[in-house]
């Protein structure tokens, strides 16, 4: 019996093309004993009937819920195309013996570069300057001086896969680097020139606050009204992680009142945001539709990582980067004797 892999259909454009370009599908075509196709899931919850008969799923944005797994007797792997897995009920997967994997190697460089891009664009007020030119206000540019980064303080909220790469990229810029992460290795941070501090200290001292932590119950609204009030009035907030880590209503209020200099957001509490959301009308915020890191490099890296996870399981190997290794003890997976 072939090992069947299903990809969620949101990888496709309306005319049937892979919207991401090359995501490494040639490796699936070349694999022996493997069949693959697209399942009928574009957004929302993946229905159980869509996954019956599949051994592995490669998932972009649709949600894998406990109901998705009902009757999925063959399913042993959900491979996320990316590192966020808030659209996957990991506990339900573990109970059902379904391993969940992510692709940190694919996102590390592209997301860190995009985070730095947003930081620099906000610091140089690039969005506002773009609008000046388009509006014929060339000579108003003296009113839109930016903020240099040399000698300024970068505060990283989360110093994991992305945060560490961002530290490396920013090292030549001559910035003082702080990080707030209870799980970070102090020796590794010190070797990278990063000082680990409490979050409130970071917010009080940073000129640029960069959110790079994972969304968990503990980090939901981690940056709330009280913590936003602790930021410098000249500081910028950049979020390339997940929208609900920041209280968006509170952020909108401090931006409206000019209590921080500005923000750059690739993510929102609700995606897509309501077109009437007052945040969208502000001049001191730079916005991207959760796609600032979307490049050919990211697409191929994530695709290769997710596909390799599926091929590993098909070949009886334990894949890299499982987020629920406890699932390996489930009879469904232990019977496969992954090595």
| DSSP-assigned states of every residue in 122-183 | HHTTHHHHHHHHHTT-GGGGGG------TT-EEEEE--SHHHHHHHHHHGGGT-EEEEE-TT
Reported confidence tier of residue 1, pLDDT bands at 50, 70, 90: confident
Least confident interval from 6-15, 35-44, 173-182? 35-44
For residue 307, what are its two tokens? 């596909």
One domain for residues 32 and 58: yes
If you average pLDDT over residues 317-322, what whole number do you get?
96
Are 251 and 196 members of one domain? yes
Judge contact between 12 and 18, C-beta under 8 A. Answer: yes
- Residue 201 belongs to what H/E stretch? helix 199-205
Indicate whether 170 and 239 sit together in one domain. Answer: yes
23 occurs within a structural domain: yes
Q: Which two tokens stand for residue 252?
A: 């909108």
Residue 89 CB partners (closer than 8 Å, separation 6+): 63, 64, 65, 66, 68
Whether residue 336 is predicted with pLDDT greater than 90 in this model: the reply is no
- Does residue 173 share a domain with residue 72? no
Q: Are residues 258 and 181 in the same domain?
A: yes
**The pLDDT of residue 337:** 64
Within a domain: 188: yes
User: Rounded to whole angstroms, how far apart are CA atoms 20 and 246?
Assistant: 28
Count up the domains in the chain and report the number.
2
Q: Examine residue 18 and state whether it is found in any structural domain, yes or no.
A: yes
Residue 307 has pLDDT above 70, yes or no: yes
Sheet architecture: strand order including 262-265: 194-196, 176-180, 153-157, 208-211, 236-239, 262-265, 285-287
Secondary structure (DSSP) of 216-279: -TTTTTSB-HHHHHTS-TT-EEEE-S-GGGB-HHHHHHHHHTTSSSEEEES--SSSSPPTT-GG
Is position 339 within any domain?
no
Report yes or no on 52 lying in a domain. yes
Query: Of 80-84, 233-237, 287-291, 328-332, which gets the smallest average pLDDT?
Result: 328-332
Residue 97 lies in a domain: yes
- Asked, for residue 259, whether it belongs to a domain, the answer is yes
Please check whether residues 304 and 247 belong to one and the same domain.
no
Does a structural domain hold residue 189? yes
Average pLDDT across the chain, whole number:
95
Q: Is residue 15 located within the same domain as residue 119?
A: no
Q: How many CA atoms lie within 13 A of 210 on its CB side?
A: 31
Q: Is 256 found in the same domain as 166?
A: yes
Instruction: Please indicate, yes or no, whether residues 18 and 165 belong to a single structural domain of this protein.
Output: no
Residues 37 and 90 in one domain: yes
Same domain, 234 and 131: yes
Positions marked active-site: 242, 271, 290
Write the CATH number for 51: 3.40.50.720
User: Cα(318)–Cα(311) distance, rounded to whole angstroms?
Assistant: 10
Average pLDDT over residues 230-243: 98
Contact 180, 155 (CB under 8 A): yes
Expressed as residue numbers, the domain containing 92 is 3-102+295-334
Q: Are residues 97 and 120 in the same domain?
A: no
Mean pLDDT to the nearest integer, 64-87: 94
Per-residue pLDDT reduced to its tens digit, 145-190: 999 999 999 999 999 999 999 999 999 999 999 999 999 999 999 9
Percentage with pLDDT > 70 across the chain: 99
pLDDT of residue 338: 76
């Amino acid at each position: 019996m072939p090992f069947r892999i299903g990809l969620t259909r949101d990888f496709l454009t309306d005319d049937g093309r892979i919207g991401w370009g090359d995501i490494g599908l040639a490796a699936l075509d070349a694999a022996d004993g493997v069949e693959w196709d697209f399942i009928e899931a574009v957004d929302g919850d993946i229905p159980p009937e869509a996954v019956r008969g599949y051994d592995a799923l490669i998932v972009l944005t649709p949600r894998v819920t406990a109901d998705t797994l009902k009757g999925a007797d063959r399913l042993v792997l959900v491979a996320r195309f990316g590192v966020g897995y808030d659209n996957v009920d990991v506990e339900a997967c573990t109970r059902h013996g379904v391993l969940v994997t992510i692709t940190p190697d694919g996102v590390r460089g592209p997301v860190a570069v995009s985070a730095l891009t947003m930081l620099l664009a906000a610091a140089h007020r690039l969005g506002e300057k773009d609008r000046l030119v388009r509006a014929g206000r060339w000579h108003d540019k003296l009113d839109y001086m930016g903020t240099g980064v040399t000698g300024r303080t970068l505060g990283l909220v989360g110093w994991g896969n992305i945060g560490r790469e961002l530290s490396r990229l920013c090292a030549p810029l001559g910035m003082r680097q702080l990080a707030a992460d209870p799980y970070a290795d102090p020796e590794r941070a010190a070797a990278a020139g990063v000082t680990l501090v409490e979050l409130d200290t970071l917010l009080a001292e940073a000129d640029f606050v960069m959110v790079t932590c994972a969304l968990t119950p503990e980090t939901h609204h981690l940056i709330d009204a009280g913590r936003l009030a602790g930021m410098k009035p000249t500081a910028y907030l950049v979020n390339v992680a997940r929208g609900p880590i920041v209280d968006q209503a509170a952020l909108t209020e401090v931006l409206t009142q000019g209590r921080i200099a500005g923000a750059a957001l690739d993510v929102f509490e609700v995606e897509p945001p309501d077109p009437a959301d007052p945040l969208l009308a502000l001049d001191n915020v730079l916005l991207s539709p959760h796609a600032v890191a979307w490049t050919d490099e990211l697409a191929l890296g994530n695709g290769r990582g997710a596909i390799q996870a599926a091929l590993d399981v098909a070949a009886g190997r334990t894949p890299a980067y499982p987020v629920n290794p406890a699932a390996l003890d489930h009879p469904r997976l232990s019977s496969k004797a992954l090595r």
